[in-house]
Amino acid sequence: MDGNGRWAKQQGLPRLEGHRRGSKSVRACTSGCLEAGVEHLTLYAFSKENWQRPPTEVKSLMNLLDRFLAEQTAEIMERNIRLRAIGHLHDLPKKSQERLDRAIEQSAGNTALTLTLALSYGGRSEITDATRAIAREVHNGQLAPEDIEEKTVAAHLYTAGQPDPDLLIRTSGEMRISNFLLWQLSYTEIFVTEKLWPEFTKEDLFQAVRDYAGRSRRYGGI
């Protein structure tokens, strides 16, 4: 979800206003996924690298997360959405962690859409954490090195139990994946739009889905 700051600059507004406007695109995208029958939506909300931003911006982003959880949990329940979160969640402020935990627990039985927020997330950190977990199992005699397979790694990722993404949507025209779901995106189709995230609408989501539907996925075959 890239381009909040650039959108705000173009409008002559503070960066925070771009993040606020971006939260509307989150709602539009989530609603569009429900209408299109998408079962899993993962939003790259805050990366490990984002902690390097100015403290005032980081604090504002955490406040926006709190507000989202406070204001949208009721709608999440009403629309039968299951909320999940991946990343180094212990990095979040305590209040944010508590609100997030409550929303996740409250929505655990919902089935229409699994909405995963990637928070304090980094793809390299995820793979590193998975490697450490596997190494501990080998050290403790629970796993033999020769038995480690791709499915072993997948089972130790934050996304264990979820399917790999079919489609990655990248806004703002950037041609990179920015340390996002590095393992899971191996065969994911990529759709890049020049639109900045605050400009992204439900119709843009449908366009991306239509584009995806017209592609032939061969997974390395013929």
Query: For tokens 């569009």, what's the residue?
Result: 32
Among the options 50, 63, 110, 179, which is catalytic?
Answer: 50
Q: Is 63 a catalytic residue?
A: no
Query: What angle do the packed helices 55-78 and 15-36 form, to 10 degrees?
Result: 30
- Closest listed residue to residue 84, CA positions, set 113, 46, 114: 114
Rounded distance between C-alpha atoms, residue 26 and residue 69, angstroms: 12
Q: Is 2 a catalytic residue?
A: yes
68 Rama class: left (phi>0) / alpha (psi -120 to 50) / beta: alpha
210 by DSSP, 3-state: which? helix
Strands (E), the chain: 40-47, 81-86, 113-121, 167-170, 189-192
192 beta partners:
170
As separate numbers, helices (DSSP H) first and strands (DSSP E) second, the chain gives 7, 5
Strands (E), 68-145: 81-86, 113-121
CA 164 → CA 35, 142, 199, distances in Å? 21, 26, 27
Which are the catalytic amino acids? Answer: 2, 50
